[in-house]
């Protein structure tokens, strides 16, 4: 007979995974849906599939790190304490949402587990230190890589990936044979096809990277308790993510409700590629990566790189209007066409990116992305310190 408390724990874990699916489908496939490359239903199906692949392959490394290695004695993960940890993860993320700041699920989950470990005197400080170091280093890497791309390569990338929509559908079914065969519609141009494949592929990459890191946030406490095996936990978490993608994620797909998908399409692709690559790399090391923090710093880096093309760094920081720097020599691409000089982009678009460096806005984002995990850590510590749940 299944213990009722275990059922409660599984339901809470699946609820966390359900919200992960709802929150991450928009950033992953928002650009593709917004460009009419795929439908919301196809986006949800791809999200569920690639999230599960990422969770089943690389994600188990992060589950092991959080569920067994972060604490010296996995015995602290009783059913009661596991449910409480998941509760603090949800409460802390709710605070971030109320302030309109995208909080890190991974940092919040680690914070709650660290609070449990501190209260029980079983936190592995070496493992916690390794995770913390990568949390500092990875956003810096994302910032500088995106800055270089924004300053030196963005204009050319924008020409390459821009989707020029044709009047007809992308594909059509050829019913002349025994079986219908999908073929390109006669009005579809090559640029449109390449751009569509690129945007959808980036969405699949983001879904995969989300699975590698975020599955642990939902199931690691239960796996660490020994009450739920790794494979069933990943399957249940994957199912819950898929349900979230097919239901509550439809609204986020409609509104493009994330910092990444509100960017121009080319910028969204750059940010998603850089962030996903870093998250997958860290997940392979077993490090619970923060996609939100890395993506935020990547957005700032990309905007900084684009904004400092026509203006000086102090002018970009202050977002004040100034006379653009003139560049006499124009670059020439492979086809002999003149490229804009470094910094020559749409002045209104560049002005918008410069506003990313508003000190007040940046300070609020950075502050809340540290406060939310701190809430989970302190709340879990005080609870497990004074309430005997393990």
Return d(Cα 55, Cα 254) in angstroms, integer: 26
Using alpha carbons only, give the angle 306, 309, 312 rounded to the nearest 5 degrees. Answer: 110
pLDDT tens string 229-287: 999 999 999 999 999 889 887 766 765 434 444 466 678 788 888 989 999 999 999 89
The mean per-residue pLDDT over the stretch 181-185 comes to: 68
Q: Supply the pLDDT for residue 186.
A: 65
Confidence of residue 81 (pLDDT cuts 50, 70, 90): confident
pLDDT tens string 110-167: 988 999 899 888 899 999 999 999 989 999 999 999 999 988 888 888 777 666 655 6
Q: What percent of the chain has pLDDT over 90?
A: 21
* pLDDT of 41 above 80: yes
Taking alpha carbons only, the member of 77, 19, 92, 90 closest to residue 376 is 92
Mean of per-residue pLDDT scores for the chain:
77
**Beta-bridge mates of residue 181:** 174
Q: Supply the pLDDT for residue 192.
A: 67
| Distinct helix (H) and strand (E) counts, the chain | 15, 2
Return d(Cα 53, Cα 47) in angstroms, integer: 10
The mean per-residue pLDDT over the stretch 44-50 comes to: 95
Sequence length of the chain is: 390
Q: Supply the pLDDT for residue 60.
A: 93
Decide: 352 and 44 in contact? Cβ < 8 Å: no
pLDDT tens string 334-349: 444 444 444 445 444 4
**Beta-bridge mates of residue 183:** 172
Q: What percent of the chain has pLDDT over 70?
A: 70
Q: Supply the pLDDT for residue 154.
A: 86
Phi, psi for 251 (deg, rounded to 5): -70, -40
Q: Supply the pLDDT for residue 92.
A: 72
**Cα-based torsion angle of the residue sequence 66, 365, 263, 45 in order, rounded to the nearest 10 degrees:** 30
Q: Supply the pLDDT for residue 314.
A: 55
**What is the DSSP-derived secondary structure letter of residue 341?**
P
Burial class (CB in 10 A: 0-12, 13-18, 19+), 42: middle
Q: Supply the pLDDT for residue 332.
A: 41
* pLDDT of 102 above 90: no
The mean per-residue pLDDT over the stretch 77-86 comes to: 85
Burial class (CB in 10 A: 0-12, 13-18, 19+), 250: middle
pLDDT tens string 355-375: 444 556 566 666 777 777 888
Q: Supply the pLDDT for residue 324.
A: 43
In this prediction the pTM is 0.75
């Amino acid at each position: 007979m299944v213990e009722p408390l275990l059922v409660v724990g599984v339901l809470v874990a699946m609820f966390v995974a359900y919200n992960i699916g709802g929150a991450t489908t928009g950033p992953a496939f928002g650009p593709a849906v917004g460009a009419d490359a795929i439908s919301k239903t196809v986006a949800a199906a791809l999200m569920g599939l690639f999230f599960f692949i990422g969770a089943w392959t690389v994600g188990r490394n992060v589950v092991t790190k959080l569920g067994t290695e972060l604490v010296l004695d996995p015995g602290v993960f009783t059913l009661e304490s596991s449910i409480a940890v998941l509760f603090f993860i949800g409460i802390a993320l709710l605070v971030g949402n109320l302030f309109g700041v995208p909080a890190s699920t991974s940092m919040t989950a680690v914070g709650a587990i660290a609070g449990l470990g501190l209260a029980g005197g079983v936190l592995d400080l070496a493992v916690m230190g390794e995770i913390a170091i990568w949390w500092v280093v990875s956003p810096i890497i994302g910032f500088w890589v995106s800055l270089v791309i924004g300053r030196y390569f963005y204009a050319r990338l924008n020409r390459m990936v821009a989707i020029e929509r044709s009047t007809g559908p992308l594909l059509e079914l050829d019913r002349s044979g025994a079986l219908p065969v999908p073929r390109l519609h006669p009005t579809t141009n090559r640029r449109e096809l390449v751009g569509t494949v690129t945007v959808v592929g980036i969405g699949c990459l983001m879904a995969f990277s989300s699975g590698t890191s975020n599955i642990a946030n939902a199931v690691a406490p239960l796996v660490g308790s020994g009450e739920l095996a790794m494979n069933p936990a990943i399957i249940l978490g994957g199912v819950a993510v898929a349900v979230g993608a097919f239901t509550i994620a439809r609204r986020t797909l409609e509104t493009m409700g994330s910092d990444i998908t509100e960017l121009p399409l080319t910028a969204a692709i750059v940010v998603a590629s850089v962030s996903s690559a870093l998250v997958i790399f860290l997940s392979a090391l077993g490090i619970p990566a923060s996609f939100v923090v890395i993506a935020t710093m990547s957005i700032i880096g990309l905007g900084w790189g684009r904004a400092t093309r026509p203006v000086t760094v102090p002018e970009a920081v202050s977002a004040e209007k100034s006379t653009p720097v003139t560049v006499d020599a124009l670059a020439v691409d492979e086809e002999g066409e003149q490229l804009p000089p470094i910094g020559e982009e749409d002045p209104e678009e560049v002005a918008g990116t410069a506003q990313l460096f508003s000190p007040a806005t940046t300070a609020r984002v950075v502050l809340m992305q540290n406060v939310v995990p701190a809430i989970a850590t302190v709340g879990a510590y005080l609870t497990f310190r004074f309430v005997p749940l393990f």
